[in-house]
A and B are shown apart, each in its own frame.
Chain A
């Protein structure tokens, strides 16, 4: 059976807004959810902030780059929250068995994905910005001092988070709620090779190739260069953006393939546990 391409590519801002509203209603109606958004980024920032203060007194490397670990923690959380924002909003539909209603409405898959991304952005900002602001009174360090490159780091990491989130959605659509746990753990597989807290060149050579295939490794290399040497590594930024295009295209394809498979198997109507 052939499907019209317009299924995936036509967008209505109003329908995207409707879905953002749906997730926003859920978020604003639950203070534990709001608290959880800011809780982990703040705790991580405080923990790593004090560790880096202690280490800075004993390490010229860290003393030269005050705040590099705090910035890395906050930016890693952008990636994690970006992915989680997409996956969890999708899981909300699975938990509430609402997919059947959504997809007999005029909502198109592309619009739904766009709403998941918008909601992920909102959730990430709500989670990470308070932690970044708290770093100022706690450690006298402002990640906002990174300037324009911070926006590039943020954009590249959240886009990679969206791509990973979509990949997890595709896996859950294909394999059911048994794959739910991946939403919480998959991103951590990337942490060692994203070189969040150490340079890529400390990795074995074969692992460096894997690291350099990830936009996140280029972002964190760029972050360290900026903090330690005050220079913006445009090459790394360009690689991060190019790789993100490739990762996003692959993950969107996986999602569309999986969504179509769900329509073949009838999984859109029989969702939930």
Chain B
């Protein structure tokens, strides 16, 4: 059995009286793409923050590539990376300057060449010497992805990687992520509200509601279990505390 790339056990985060994540346990197999789904406030970003070690759990454990993220996260940070539209890169620095700084932070050899290579892959060469703040939303997302892929991470955590992008750019990024996973065997954990994206990219889906994982399985298994045509319908069933058509029919019988 493949050792899980990400493992959370009884992970809990409380902010005062509010329980944002409520004792969740899950394992993400190495080389898989796993979707973290849930409505606003379900606890997705809080979970990702704890997986990254940016946020300390109230209780429970998180391991990435076998390393305890609370006690020893610096042992594994060079092997993982993260992208989110809600965390930005310095606007006044050019794309090249931003990526050069991060290249050195990740200890890459031949940083200049790697920056040009990743920008070529992500169609950013024309913007290398442009200030990051002067890019369009789609270009900024590609730069954030370039930062996230700079160190060729074994574990990649993406928080809504295609939020607010036009369909063409979003599709381009999904295709790139699919290819990256195929070529490197990386493990990807993806928080998204876009159900088409999740159906297309994910092997496994974790459904969150009010800080808990309320269901999980492959997209096909979830569609089958809820008797629905699309993950969006499954999402609505879960968000609205419905059991799905199949469960309703079985209950009626």
Contacts and interface: CB of A to CB of B under 8 A. Distances in A.
Interface centre among B54, B82, B100 (most CB of A within 10 A): B54
Given A4-B74, A14-B107, A25-B97, 8 more contacts: A1-B57, A1-B70, A21-B100, A96-B90, A104-B77, A106-B106, A107-B105, A265-B15
Nearest to A22: B101
A107 B90 CA distance: 16
Interface string A94-121: 0011111111111110000000000000
B88 A21 contact: no
B104 interface: yes
A97 B88 contact: yes
Interface of B: 15, 45-46, 49, 52-57, 70-72, 74, 77-78, 80-82, 84, 86-94, 97, 100-107, 147
Contacts of A268: 54-55
Contacts of A25: 93-94, 97, 101
B40 to A, nearest CB: 15
Given A26-B93, A98-B87, A106 B104 contact: no
28 contacts: A1-B70, A2-B71, A3-B70, A7-B74, A10-B74, A14-B104, A15-B107, A21-B100, A22-B97, A25-B97, A25-B101, A26-B93, A29-B92, A96-B91, A97-B86, A100-B54, A100-B82, A100-B84, A100-B87, A106-B78, A106-B107, A263-B55, A265-B15, A266-B15, A266-B54, A266-B55, A269-B55, A269-B86
Interface in A71-112: 92, 96-108
A31 to B, nearest CB: 13
A195 to B, nearest CB: 39
B104 A17 contact: yes
Contacts of A18: 101-105
Nearest to A12: B107
A2 to B, nearest CB: 7
A6 to B, nearest CB: 7
Nearest to B52: A104
Contacts of B88: 96-98, 101
Contacts of A15: 104-105, 107
A107 B91 CA distance: 20
A264 interface: yes
A100 B74 CA distance: 15
A19 interface: yes
A236 B186 CA distance: 60
Interface of A: 1-4, 6-7, 10, 12, 14-15, 17-19, 21-22, 25-26, 29-30, 92, 96-108, 260, 263-266, 268-269
A259 to B, nearest CB: 11
Contact of A263 (B54, B72, B107): B54
Contacts of A263: 53-56
Given A104-B81, A105-B105, A1 B56 contact: yes
A137 to B, nearest CB: 35
Given A22-B93, A30-B92, A101-B147, A106 B71 contact: no
Given A14-B104, A104-B82, A105-B102, A22 B90 contact: yes
Contacts of A98: 87-90
A22 B92 CA distance: 10
Given A25-B97, A25-B101, A104 B54 contact: yes
B102 A106 contact: no
A1 B93 CA distance: 37
A269 B223 CA distance: 34
Nearest to A25: B97
Given A22-B93, A265-B15, A103 B54 contact: yes
B62 to A, nearest CB: 11
A101 B103 CA distance: 12
Contacts of A97: 86-88
